[in-house]
A and B are shown apart, each in its own frame.
Chain A
Amino acid sequence: MNRRNALRRTALLAGSAVAAPTLLSLLQSCKEQKRVDWVPQFLNQEQAVFVSSFVDTILPKTETPGALDVKVDIFMDLMYAKTYDENGQKYVVEEIDKFNANCKDEYGDVFANLSTEDKTAVLKKAEAETAKFNPGVWGTAVGEQKPVGFYRQLKSMALWAYFSSEEVGKNILSYDPIPGAYLGCIPLSDVGNTWSL
């Protein structure tokens, strides 16, 4: 079991008796323990656990921070709370619950509780089944966009939340808020990573 997930669950189910993960959580760094304080504004506990676990699976910690390090889950909850209208909010909770229910049906537990292997299987299937975003030009998709389904929306929001975070935007991607000039042709090695802005 992924230790980070264990910690996340502990944090979110604070108060309920989950012995083993609590022990594991003692092994985590102080920085990570702060996350215990996170109280979702919009999602309920189980939905928040799902989002945390989901974004952690999509964007895990490597040499570079993972989604949880830059609080992608907390930010997504905020987005649902403040930028979604009622219909959108209703859709999100229904879809999360559906996603978890499917995991239970097929693998015996909600997404966050599954083994890494099972999680991978769930996401692989979702990838194959959900439509893709049409390419966009000047702010709108070209052609007739098929509904992309919840999985891809969630994934794209997780990517956005991650790559638009200050830590990733300033310290991981190449950051240059006032380029000063346009150079149309330079070696990629002079820049390194993608421009963040």
Chain B
Amino acid sequence: MANFNIDAKQDMTYDAIVIGSGISGGWAAKELCEKGLKTLVLERGRIVEHVTDYPTMTLDPWDTELRGSLTPEQKAKHPKGIRSGFIGANNEHFHANDVENPYTEVKPFLWVRAHQMGGRSLLWGKQCYRWSDLDFEANLKDGHGVDWPIRYNDLAPWYTHVEKFAGISGEALGLPQLPDSHFLPPMELNCVEKHVKERIEKEYNGRNMIIGRVAHLTEPINGRGKCQFRNRCDRGCPYGAYFSSNAVTLPAANATGNLTIRPFSIAQSIIYDDESGKATGVRIIDSETGEFMEYHAKIIFCNASTLSSTQILMNSTSDRHPNGLGNASGELGHNLMDHTYRVGAMGKVPGFEDQYYKGRRPNGIYIPRYYNLDEQTKTDNFVRGFGFQGSGGRAGWGAGSNQENFGADFKDGLMKPGPWEFFITGFAECLPNHENKVYLNKEVLDKWGQPTLSIDAEWGENELAMNKQIRKDAKEMLERAGLQDITDFDNEHEMGYGIHEMGTARMGRDPKTSVLNGNNQVHGANNVFVTDGACMTSSSCVNPSLTYMALTARAANFAVSELKKNNL
């Protein structure tokens, strides 16, 4: 999709400005453009055109000299991100440079970022689950954090709205803790997954194992092709088969003729007019020239990703907002959350030697939360709950490394698939805790001389208690499903590994304890909306990005109607 209107400098005033072009920014751009607003998207990275800028999308290992290995020079750009295990030569160009964009780990925290048009929508795992009232009412019920200013019913139509356009595949089950989406046909489980599912569902009343719900087309829609099961999504998809800003929302925004994207534009702060009590625009740094510039608009959507949006708000000081835009409550930067990750179990599934599968499914299985749903499932060990992701498959030649064997038979044996293996790993909800926070660090500056973030957060007792339970339950489930050689594990890991950072500019009912209201408006700056993960009041245990999409579409709709009523 070529021919974006790429702004040089000529026009400095728009109806709306969107900061960031990732998962949430793309939605803001689409919705605002489609409602007729001339919209400027400020993106700190480069333009990434759908398809033409996916240089590695079809490469087989042998197509490159180093077969996908990173050079020391490439590794040196990602001293932190590399810890995630997700950076390889085939997607390194979509990961932010940690050296140019430093942050300080007061306590260990992994912050995985993507700085280009599309943001992390080019890298994400695409698991998409609706939240339920179990999630939206949790804070109110157990007293951790503040109450969400919205409920499931406020968001349900917006979930449907984004799902219809994004394309989510999955199976409808009618589970109260995991509401169904508007689904495209589900992907298939393989024979061993089907077998494990049957066993688990038989062994445990009320426990389900389902195919993952993912933002992948299993049927073509809107000119996008269906998934070809190549599992090379983090290199960009030539078919536009998974949801990314680049393939889905930004082309739609562009088609309206109302979109302008300005790449290489680091939003430094939001400009606030004390007299009118409104924001008037955004101050940027051109990342290539270092030049400061100002763009103006009636409404501003802040979608730079959870921590970056908070950083921008903290940088936006004025007489009325001396501690950062919307920070009268003192909560800006606080209540950082993530999901625990990498605690679980794995094992071998005996039998099924004659069976195999075809295709590299970019999706796994999901076991929805089963604790603290109601009186029967209540536990005293922790509040809230966790779900599992995982998958089954047959071992490949890699298993040969550990076999105490070598030589002719060994080599030829590795040509055939090995035993069936199956694993699950838990994702637990993280409580909003005021002590988990980020703040500006003026000692450590980025490449452009700007203050960076210090991140000071760690798991609390509740998360660790859940990790214990996850490990225990995972092992037990696999045992009862008949697996052998079971290894249970807790790869103790710091926050950030879940790559689901949320909070730090939470929504709430009371301006004294929150940064945003129920329509994602900044308290005291009504024409500024924050709709990425920064806005989250609690963290649920399911993947959050679908909820950012729905919140963004809802807020954009509200913003435009308020603008029409001259309320902004």
Contacts and interface: CB of A to CB of B under 8 A. Distances in A.
Interface in B173-216: 187-191, 193-194
Nearest to A138: B85
Contact of B353 (A66, A170, A188, A197): A188
Interface in A149-197: 152, 155-156, 159-160, 162-166, 169-170, 172-173, 176-191, 193-195, 197
Contacts of B342: 137-138, 140, 142
Interface string B441-460: 00000000000000000000
Nearest to A144: B491
A5 to B, nearest CB: 14
B228 A180 contact: yes
B359 A180 contact: yes
B549 to A, nearest CB: 24
A194 B357 CA distance: 10
A15 interface: no
Interface in B23-45: none
A85 interface: yes
A34 B556 CA distance: 66
B406 A127 contact: yes
A190 B354 CA distance: 10
A185 B71 contact: no
Contact of A82 (B66, B190, B400): B66
A191 B67 CA distance: 25
B491 A140 contact: yes
A85 B72 contact: yes
B414 A187 contact: no
A60 B406 CA distance: 9
B408 A137 contact: no
A182 B400 contact: no
Contact of B417 (A140, A142, A182, A188): A188
Contacts of B189: 184
B401 A152 contact: yes
B355 A186 contact: yes
Interface in B315-374: 342, 344, 346, 353-361
B487 interface: yes
Contacts of A64: 411-412, 415
B72 A84 contact: yes
B414 A127 contact: no
Nearest to B86: A139
B237 to A, nearest CB: 12
A83 B69 contact: yes
B558 interface: no
Interface stretch (A22-30, A96-104, A106-114, A128-136): A128-136
Contact of A179 (B356, B358, B396, B405): B358
B173 to A, nearest CB: 18
Interface stretch (B14-22, B56-64, B157-165, B283-291): B56-64
A133 B417 contact: no
B404 interface: yes
A43 B193 CA distance: 46
A78 interface: yes
A142 B489 contact: yes
Contact of A185 (B75, B357, B361): B357
Contacts, number: 184
Contact of B401 (A120, A137, A156, A178): A156
A163 B406 contact: no
Contacts of A18: none
Contacts of B425: 137-138
* Consensus secondary structure, chain B interface: loop
A189 B69 contact: no
Contacts of B86: 138-139
A142 B346 contact: yes
B229 interface: yes
B414 A159 contact: yes
B144 interface: no
Contacts of A163: 396-397, 414
Tell me which of A62, A83, A143, A197 has the highest count of chain B C-beta atoms within 10 A of its own C-beta.
Answer: A83
Given A176-B358, A186-B356, A197-B360, A83 B401 contact: no
B153 interface: no
A70 to B, nearest CB: 10
A120 to B, nearest CB: 8
A182 B401 contact: no
Given A142-B491, A159-B400, A78 B359 contact: no
A2 B451 CA distance: 64
A123 interface: yes
A123 to B, nearest CB: 6
Contacts of B396: 163, 194-195
Nearest to B485: A135
Given A75-B67, A188-B417, 4 more contacts: A82-B66, A83-B71, A182-B360, A189-B354
Interface of A: 57-60, 62-64, 66, 75, 78-79, 82-85, 120, 123-124, 127-128, 132-135, 137-140, 142-143, 152, 155-156, 159-160, 162-166, 169-170, 172-173, 176-191, 193-195, 197
Going nearest first, the 7 A-B pairs with the smallest beta carbon separation are A139-B85, A182-B359, A156-B401, A179-B359, A184-B190, A166-B62, A142-B489
12 contacts: A62-B408, A64-B412, A135-B487, A164-B67, A166-B60, A166-B62, A170-B62, A183-B188, A185-B191, A191-B356, A193-B416, A195-B358
